[in-house]
Structure 1
């Protein structure tokens, strides 16, 4: 069920509509008197005696036509808690016969900034459904009208909508099946984002070969589909300041290649491009909200398939950096895609920092489950910003170690390095250690392994299962708080 939000200036207390009002966590109702009719107010007072006031959302049927909903707000409440309240509101009423509500923003506490904006943001994020391929799509709408003076400003409305659109675009991309969103189609969709104000440049196989991106190309050479490097630029500043750079792994489907994965759960490998989808959704958000920064998003798009032309275990390739890589396992492919993309990003754009995102290792799920993304970084300041921001938006990261002692696990006898650690252990760390070798000029860099966060079978606070869009809100907030 989709959500439609409208804004209205005033609402008469005697209006016969379903009303949503904010109260404190003790459910003190005195401040509501001027916003309700006498009959409604007395009815709520009477019904409140039989309700469990430990609940954060209470609803009252005061007549056959009118429902009153009270949302309790504690004195100190975070933006993420407000978003979760909005999501809870959606869950409470998505199956209700009542589909039309009026939120009275004048009842929100004045000492807390933008309560209604964050509440609606959570409500919208929770409402997402991927129903593109269902014959019987839901046609119902939850219509929310906001009245009063404490509505989000126009600027805030634009910001929230931009982040929602970016998050939903990421979820859409991750949810698409591999036969639809193969690299050729993905490149076309990214190219269509020019309409949002992004500068797009797509490097096809011919251009990639000329550049020497053999690590990336090796991954995709077993597929009948093309391989691409897609570059998205947002120039929100008129000056030539160094951009912020975001790099994503876009393996549209990962069979493992010649090192074939087991059949069980291979269908989930449609989301092995989630890192790239986060970068694309982020860049869309930045353009939509006219972010006052310069940013570049770069994603490597490939399909890892077995075939007569597929890369073999034992092959040696020369990366864009000039370093050679021995391919011991073709299922350790994401790091090969990122290797070329990282060096190219650093050399071409000389960014303030690089954050890369990838569903890189199953080992990170063993370590952190679906509660934290793994953070690996060469920079304490960037790490702290990511950790602090993750706590604010509840897209959390946990810093994991990098150390030169891990290098011996990926050193190769036949090339500069090998793409997998066959000794065993430290799977996520050795993958990150591998990536760090392609940051050649000591640019501040962070790698987010989001394998446990990009897709949820059971849903979360702000999603209902499936693609989560994890990372779009995290990076938007990182930029907003520290770089705009």
Structure 2
């Protein structure tokens, strides 16, 4: 398994710069101010840093980098001069760290951050972008050169500030690893086993097998996995870091480890991408990992429904009627509208068992959301304005795109069935909204709820701000921020 880059904080030492190998980065302001390390690098290179400032500072933006290749007077292969204002935002500093991670490739990196007030955020940016999924490459293993050294004026203090940020980065990486895995490796059983391993972090993990799901009446969820040899499961993860009797925030994830579409078979072209259809469950898992690693003073429960949607002689057919745990009957119009069948049962179970303070579900649910929002924003649907606004604010603070979409009775009416309580799809018009309305039917009016359709942001073909092409880990940072802002015990959190 891939782990986040190791960031080591050490005291500023100008003498280290001359012999440092790989890449060295120094920070300057657009006004031309240099800290101790930058001044030392400027002397070693006989004024090269000052020449960069003179040439670039006037038009430079925060986070811009100019590279001096093979700088005279230094052993480094490159000296990166970064313009970064002392009063920059945490997101600006994080993006600056991303820029350094992109430049360094696999070279050792020494970042001279000095007394910069955003040094911890800079380190998180480096960690987030310094990711590759190499578990299935056959190249000979090499000595890992990816550790980063950061010279700061107060290494112990900065290390303490960075620790919870790097815990979140670890959660992002865990989500990316899960989402990138091929379906022959990440079966429902393997997925559940990896989550069970997180009990070592202090999470309480429980795996509900098919016999228990049948006993509970989860007919909608079980119908999705009927055609697969891989057993359907629900995994429950509890983090009890808050007040003993405080109702938890519940996170619910769609975990379709591979989606053929079932009997309503998808086109062959692009079907290989359906290994990412468990992305919602991946995000829930990454958030729970981050909360445990940073010892969050909050009560949060994460539930993921793990299934595989395959065609076979046992598979659910279009026209079948299945019964949900809530007791509602559902006419299956399209077996490729399966994620909502998984989520509806888990949503109902979550409310019955945990009486949550609020719920957020995540799913790579509809292609329609990609048509509407592309790959820049997740679709956000909610029954509670205050809760929704809190999440949107958290997403903005973390630089993760999210856009609110409507809910209304007219869309819900599109789900009416002639023979059952509802259909599992309302057709092509407003497909993302009718999918959200389907889930809305399984949410109590008194429970604040958000549905996140992450089909466009969970895994992408091109690099994003924080991630290379492939799984992004979108949502882990925003949801961790939501927990910190709204659900942590203030007396414990300080």
TM-score norm. by structure 1 comes to 0.93
Displacement, 1:138? Answer: 6.7
- After superposition, the C-alpha distances for 1:409-443 in whole angstroms (9 at most, x for unaligned) are 00111111000113x30100000000000013530
Once structures 1 and 2 are overlaid, which stretch shifts more, 182-191 or 13-22? 13-22
Identify the residue that residue 383 of structure 1 maps to in structure 2: 388
Identify the residue that residue 466 of structure 2 maps to in structure 1: 462
CA distance in 2, matches of 1:205, 1:239: 31
Counting only pairs closer than 5 Å after superposition, residues 405-484 of structure 1 correspond to structure 2 as: 405-422=410-427, 424-484=428-488
1:9 and 2:8 equivalent? no
Displacement, 1:137? Answer: 5.8
CA distance in 2, matches of 1:261, 1:272: 13
Counting only pairs closer than 5 Å after superposition, residues 35-434 of structure 1 correspond to structure 2 as: 36=40, 39-40=43-44, 42-44=46-48, 47-48=51-52, 51-53=55-57, 54-55=59-60, 56-60=64-68, 61-66=71-76, 68-74=79-85, 76-94=87-105, 99-106=108-115, 108=116, 113=117, 115-136=118-139, 139=142, 140-151=144-155, 152-422=157-427, 424-434=428-438
CA distance in 2, matches of 1:37, 1:430: 59
Is contact 2:133–2:177 with CA below 8 Å preserved after alignment?
A: yes
CA distance in 2, matches of 1:210, 1:38: 71
- After superposition, the C-alpha distances for 1:174-197 in whole angstroms (9 at most, x for unaligned) are 011011111121111111111111
SS of 1:36's equivalent in the other structure is helix
CA distance in 2, matches of 1:314, 1:89: 54
Unaligned runs of 5+ in 1: none
Displacement, 1:256? Answer: 0.5
CA distance in 1, matches of 2:41, 2:195: 52
Is contact 1:14–1:36 with CA below 8 Å preserved after alignment?
A: no
- State the aligned residue count: 474
Displacement, 1:353? Answer: 0.5
- After superposition, the C-alpha distances for 1:207-263 in whole angstroms (9 at most, x for unaligned) are 000000000000001101100011000000242100010000000000000111110
Once structures 1 and 2 are overlaid, which stretch shifts more, 394-403 or 58-67? 58-67
SS of 1:52's equivalent in the other structure is helix
Displacement, 1:35? Answer: 5.1
Is contact 1:234–1:296 with CA below 8 Å preserved after alignment?
A: yes
Q: 1:137 to 1:197 in 2, by over 3 A?
A: farther
CA distance in 1, matches of 2:263, 2:38: 71
- After superposition, the C-alpha distances for 1:299-342 in whole angstroms (9 at most, x for unaligned) are 00000000011001111111011111111111000000000000
> Aligned-residue CA RMSD in angstroms?
2.1
Displacement, 1:445? Answer: 0.2
CA distance in 1, matches of 2:395, 2:140: 34
CA distance in 2, matches of 1:37, 1:63: 9
Displacement, 1:38? Answer: 7.5
CA distance in 2, matches of 1:247, 1:343: 11
Q: 1:242 to 1:127 in 2, by over 3 A?
A: same
- After superposition, the C-alpha distances for 1:2-50 in whole angstroms (9 at most, x for unaligned) are 7432222341457524453322123333x44895178327423553367
Q: 1:253 to 1:33 in 2, by over 3 A?
A: closer
Identify the residue that residue 491 of structure 2 maps to in structure 1: none
